[in-house]
Structure 1
Amino acid sequence: MPYQVLKRAEEVLKQLEERREKDDNKAKITKREEGYQLSFITLDDPLLLDIKEEIIDLDINSLTPVEALMKLNDIKNMLQKKGRK
């Protein structure tokens, strides 16, 4: 093969390998960041446990839009009664 063709093929290969290496590094960084997610909400709070249970018990597919808004308002009121906003 001509020298110029081989030289160009080496350049292209080098560029592709560098690009793949950068993509691999980005993927590793993303995985590390996902592993260090901190939670600012602890479910040890009885109020939050009550809210969680209410949400779990809901049949979202059977709620009308008005019922959904009313339920959201109920949860908001629960939080406000405890002095949270």
Structure 2
Amino acid sequence: MVGKSTYMQQTALITLMAYIDSFVPTESTIINPIDPIFTRTGASDDLVSGRSTFMVEMTGMATILHQATEHSLVLIDEIGRGTSTYDGLALAY
């Protein structure tokens, strides 16, 4: 992992550490109230259920979008990886 994936994991871990009153590697920290932390990172096909990688990704995203609130932390990495480049770019923008 390099760059944005590492940064996203770091953000989730620091937020979680702050909420359990653990050490947070900062000089000062202000964390707003957050309900669930949702992540969508990587996916693979589900051959048993007959679902493609793209379908697994979209089902996961639909779940996040239905359950997230304005106070949720939502981290999405490489959405649309399981489809063509053109369609993946359309989803990302």
Short-chain TM bin:
under 0.3
1 or 2 for the larger relative contact order (CA 8 Å, sep ≥6)?
A: 2
Choose 1 or 2 for highest CA Rg: 1
**Structure that is richer in helix per residue:** 1
> How does the TM-score come out when normalised to structure 2?
0.26
